[in-house]
Structure 1
Amino acid sequence: MEGEKVVTMKQYSNEEVDDDGRIKRTGNVLTATTHVITVVVGAGVLALAWAIAQLGWIAGIAVMIMFSSISIYTYNLIADCYRYPDPVNGKRNYTYMQAVHAYLGGKMYLLCGFIQYGKLAGLTVGYTITSSISMVAIKKLICFHKNGHGAYCKFSNNPYIIGFGIVQILLSQIPNFHKLTLLSTVAAITSFGYAFIGSGLSLAVVISGNGEPTSWFGVKVGSELSREDKVWKILTALGNIALACTYSTVVYDIMDTLKSYPSESKQMKKANVIGIITMTVLFLSCASLGYAAFGDHTPGNILTGFGFYEPFWLVALGNVCIIIHMVGAFQVLAQPLFRIIEMGVNMKWSRSTFITKEYPNRIGSLTFNINLFRLTWRTIYVVMITVMAMAMPFFNEFLSLLGAFGFWPLVIFFPIQMHISQKQINKFSLKWCVLQFLSFVCFMISASAGIGAIHGISKNIKKYKLFRYKQ
């Protein structure tokens, strides 16, 4: 796939190509910052108010700032590893996995691939769950609007999960990532839409004087919450925050758009700082306003947990934005997974017509190709994701599990190990010990958050009958 972008010197002059023979990149700090902000603003932002409610003002704000500060440092390490072995003049690494392979070898490369693509697959499950919750929320809004806030308005998520799955089966036949530009752009715009709607509605509650009491230390232990459950919810909250800070899977895709002077690493470092600071301000605003509005009763998702009923149309619009974003985001995450599988299969069975042959089709003015293997395997993948989403449609716990699964290895461990290899830092030197200590602390946080998420999912699965969950 990478070969598709390579050009020959016969087609372009030396002034029109970069050092790797590809058409000159034109990106800069501003465009990279925009990409960073677009990627990190997702449905997870709506869970941050719940997370800060579990941790309280002191720990909640401190944890968000801590995660953001660590992320700036480690993403800058990742930026330095875009080229190998020299950060300025070395050979480009077009993907995160390539960088891991260059600096850490084949075994780490395989481990990175398993984690990276496993997380992408997990996120497609999470996005399917999120979209169905928003669809049900719109139906519940209509029910409450007609029958009053005390009416019985519970509906199964399953029809909406299946409907989302059918849409994704159709969209999954888009042949590759490069054809997703329009879909991705619309998804990015709507992500800001629902983030600002959620924050704005929370601010309106606070300004009107109807906000709920809050605490420096989060939800209080008492008759409604045991000390044990408090601990489990704190761990889940840590995972929610960790997920919100992650964009490592696309950082090299962003860097590969940057012009070569000044160096890509210098530009990306500036973009990391500006992007993560902007992200942190947005996250703190959304989380703090949500907690100030709802206090101990802050819902897991401030737009679907029915802290807001009115204005009816604005809450519904926020949920429509979530659904549109999830439709596009599913494909943005699934296409790299589709590509890696199909590349491997094509290399293994290059003579199979079932795998390689394209059948041209035309409907009116629309022309497209159908590949039988692509049609079959992508359909099976989406069906499997749909079934998994129907089996455990639990928003916060699933987000926490994904955050815990990806944060330590992708944001902490691999960047630190690549930095040690690149700078040839001596084992047991002071800097080596400090870096390993940072990695160990973050590992313990990720492991604890993962255990909390698994506990929450298992508890919910015992409480609800599989495939019969109603929201």
Structure 2
Amino acid sequence: MTNMDAEKGFVSGTISGYAASSSTEKTWLVFQALGNIAFAYSFSMILIEIQDTLKSPPSENKTMKKASLLGIAVTTSYYMSVGCIGYAALGNDAPGDLLTGFGFHNPYWLIDIGNICIAVHLIGAYQVFCQPLFAFIEAWAVQKWPKSEVINHDYRIPLPFSKTFKLNLFKLLWRAAFVVFTTIVAMLLPFFNDIVGLLGALGFWPLTVYYPISMHISQTGLKKWTRKWVALQALNMGCLLISFVAALGSVAGIVIDLKKYAPFQMG
């Protein structure tokens, strides 16, 4: 796709996409892009948790199937529109983060509203995505140290005009430490496309492909080497390959960016 920028008066896009300095860099960027696409399926890690909270009838699997189809359709439409519009407007200079990568900040109010919406969205999403990890670690700690006062004792704090609040020191300290750790890592590695690609690569195959396929084969008692079994395993291995090359591309991108990056500095 090419784009004639009416304001600048020259073509800012190319038919072959981003002009890399070498074929190797181009390959890494293609692999990284696969990881960015795979990141769209990151909801898979909380899909079972959400399904477990649904009431029936109708059956949970039917409700989640409709919700997944609708959610994926909306997400795909949104991602495609943002990608196409961004490339149409900026060509090869289109940044990974459209709100912060333009190089200008006008109109301020529009950029600020967009960033506020993203902050609200990510704060809620962070809480939802962390709950399974919190529950796993806390259950493991209770089982590991059943007599620990710090881990097992809840302090009741009375609140005005509300019910008594239960405070657990272990939950408070461990969750706060986890948030601080992830925040520091995010500040040390502010490479938007690279990190998104890596997270997408790590979560795509095991949670979106392998786990559902294994559950389906086990539940239906599908026999080995049948046509359907072979097709599912081919899909499984193909998606594993995609995750592998996407992870390679993202790690390569992080390594390249680290060579010219100074932590905690604007630039």
Q: Is the Cα–Cα contact under 8 Å of residues 46 and 129 in structure 2 kept in the other structure?
A: no
Q: Is the Cα–Cα contact under 8 Å of residues 298 and 307 in structure 1 kept in the other structure?
A: no
Cα 1:359/1:255, change in 2 over 3 Å? closer
Q: Is the Cα–Cα contact under 8 Å of residues 157 and 167 in structure 2 kept in the other structure?
A: yes
Q: Is the Cα–Cα contact under 8 Å of residues 210 and 293 in structure 1 kept in the other structure?
A: no
Partners of 2:166 and 2:60 in 1: CA distance: 37
Shift of 1:241: 0.9
Aligned residue number for residue 435 of structure 1 = 232
Superposed CA RMSD in Å reads 2.5
TM-score using structure 2 length: 0.87
Aligned residue number for residue 399 of structure 1 = 196
Cα 1:345/1:303, change in 2 over 3 Å? same
Partners of 2:64 and 2:161 in 1: CA distance: 42
Q: Is the Cα–Cα contact under 8 Å of residues 294 and 307 in structure 1 kept in the other structure?
A: no
Aligned residue number for residue 454 of structure 1 = 251
Structure 1 spans left out of the alignment, 5+ residues: 1-55, 58-205
Percentage of pairs with the same residue: 44
Aligned residue number for residue 65 of structure 1 = none
Cα 1:266/1:322, change in 2 over 3 Å? closer
Question: 4+ residue runs of structure 1 moved beyond 6 angstroms?
Answer: none
Partners of 2:197 and 2:97 in 1: CA distance: 13
Aligned residue number for residue 219 of structure 2 = 422
Shift of 1:389: 2.2
Partners of 2:155 and 2:60 in 1: CA distance: 41
Q: How does 1:194-213 map to 2 (within 5 A)?
A: 209-210=6-7, 213=12
Aligned residue number for residue 12 of structure 1 = none
Shift of 1:407: 0.3
Aligned residue number for residue 320 of structure 1 = 116
Which amino acid is 1:379 matched to? A
**Which of 168, 183, 207 is residue 371 of structure 1 equivalent to?**
168
Cα 1:268/1:374, change in 2 over 3 Å? closer
Cα 1:255/1:209, change in 2 over 3 Å? farther
1:345 aligns with 2:150: no
Q: How does 1:51-450 map to 2 (within 5 A)?
A: 209-210=6-7, 213-221=12-20, 225-306=21-102, 309-361=105-157, 368-450=165-247
Cα 1:427/1:461, change in 2 over 3 Å? same
Cα 1:272/1:377, change in 2 over 3 Å? closer
SS in 2 for 1:463: coil
1:374-397 CA-to-partner distances (Å, cap 9, x unmatched) read: 222223222322332232221110
Partners of 2:46 and 2:89 in 1: CA distance: 34
Partners of 1:216 and 1:424 in 2: CA distance: 48
Shift of 1:325: 2.4
SS in 2 for 1:220: coil
Partners of 1:340 and 1:392 in 2: CA distance: 26
Structure 2 spans left out of the alignment, 5+ residues: none
1:182-204 CA-to-partner distances (Å, cap 9, x unmatched) read: xxxxxxxxxxxxxxxxxxxxxxx
Partners of 2:192 and 2:97 in 1: CA distance: 8
SS in 2 for 1:393: coil
Partners of 2:119 and 2:150 in 1: CA distance: 34
Q: Is the Cα–Cα contact under 8 Å of residues 35 and 198 in structure 2 kept in the other structure?
A: yes
Partners of 1:380 and 1:271 in 2: CA distance: 34
SS in 2 for 1:219: coil
Q: Tell me the number of residue pairs that the alignment of Structure 1 and Structure 2 aligns.
A: 263
